Chains A and B, each alone.
Chain A
């Protein structure tokens, strides 16, 4: 019984998004990219789809996503 519960729980865990992606975008070529938010997704393709769907309030000229784990802290808060 317990093993079934654990199995179900782990499957549910497997479906949960665990990776955070920072979304950067700009509206004009002469302005820098700035952070507009984050999305959670376990793979890069879904992260791109989510970023495009959620942050669609402007006609961005550029949008990039960066996985949180690749960010290197220089000065810790």
Chain B
């Protein structure tokens, strides 16, 4: 009897390396964004913007907190790397390795990277994997406000002209390639696997196209020059640049460190680079009492 009970209570772990990899990347990116945003809760250009930054920080960390527990259900999970409080982030974009250089980095991260992640969540709203389906719907709903914030600030900084506009454009370009690469090449095994299993409803190229339809109207109206053009026949924005896949790590879903650092790659198959500054758990200085 007891044996039966124990059997019923035994947790069935999911064996899906592709889903585990993408969920890890989503969670780490959300967590890293939240931590970077946190530094700007009292550094935004206006009081209203600072309060909004604090709310967005909470949202991003909240999204990460809803995703990390999902990792526990996978056979691929390392039990010591599931708790967000103690986990060392490994699968976030390299852009987030360092502090934001200014408010324009905050705006660019919200506009480019967070919108890219939302594009993925939007594609998972009918997911065959129920936990992701539920979370995706809520995240997409909450991200609407972030998109309005991103759009509003990109417009404001771009219209200010001069050095303000130049700084914004520089921030956008630092994130551009890595964000577009995050969806993976069209034959990306992880994303293709999710597509064929019905976990998302689009391939990497289609996700990238959907993403461009979201961001391009703003960039185009502000005459910010990016390698994307509007095709009148298809009425869609199309990328006309080749992405730097040679410098992209498909395991960590992030840009590779420079060549001189790559020799330090650990032999255990993880994507952790020894010389890379990693986001470990810490409280931002200004939040310490």
Question: Which chain B positions have C-beta within 8 A of A49?
Answer: 52, 145, 148-149, 152
Q: How many residues of B contact A (CB 8 A)?
A: 24
> Which residues of chain B (162-219) have a CB below 8 Å from chain A?
162-164
> Counting CB contacts under 8 A, is A45 at the interface?
yes
Separation of A41 and B159 alpha carbons in the complex (Å): 15
Q: Interface code B24-47, partner A: CB below 8 Å = 1, 0 otherwise? A: 000000000000000000000110
> Counting CB contacts under 8 A, is A76 at the interface?
no
> Counting CB contacts under 8 A, is A68 at the interface?
no
> Counting CB contacts under 8 A, is A52 at the interface?
yes
> Counting CB contacts under 8 A, is B54 at the interface?
yes
Q: In the complex, are the beta carbons of B52 and A53 less than 8 A apart?
A: yes
Report the minimal beta-carbon distance from B85 to chain A, rounded to whole angstroms.
Answer: 25
Separation of A67 and B51 alpha carbons in the complex (Å): 20
Which B-chain residue is minimally distant from A52 (CB atoms)?
Answer: B145
Report the minimal beta-carbon distance from B260 to chain A, rounded to whole angstroms.
Answer: 39
Do A46 and B160 form a contact, CB below 8 Å, given A39-B48, A54-B51? Answer: no
Q: In the complex, are the beta carbons of A43 and B152 less than 8 A apart?
A: yes
Q: In the complex, are the beta carbons of A15 and B155 less than 8 A apart?
A: no
Report the minimal beta-carbon distance from B60 to chain A, rounded to whole angstroms.
Answer: 13
> Counting CB contacts under 8 A, is A14 at the interface?
yes
- Chain B CB count within 10 A is highest, among A41, A50, A53, for A53
> Counting CB contacts under 8 A, is B222 at the interface?
no
Separation of A56 and B153 alpha carbons in the complex (Å): 21
Separation of A59 and B70 alpha carbons in the complex (Å): 28
Q: In the complex, are the beta carbons of A40 and B162 less than 8 A apart?
A: no
Report the minimal beta-carbon distance from A61 to chain B, rounded to whole angstroms.
Answer: 17
Q: Which residue from A11, A15, A52 sits with its C-beta under 8 Å from B45?
A: A15
Q: Which residues of B contact A (CB under 8 A)?
A: 45-46, 48-49, 51-52, 54-56, 145, 148-149, 151-153, 155-157, 159-164
Q: Which residues of A contact B (CB under 8 A)?
A: 7, 11, 14-17, 39-43, 45-46, 48-50, 52-54, 56
Q: List 14 A-B contacts (CB under 8 A).
A: A7-B162, A14-B160, A16-B46, A17-B46, A40-B46, A46-B148, A46-B152, A49-B145, A50-B49, A53-B54, A53-B55, A53-B145, A54-B51, A56-B55
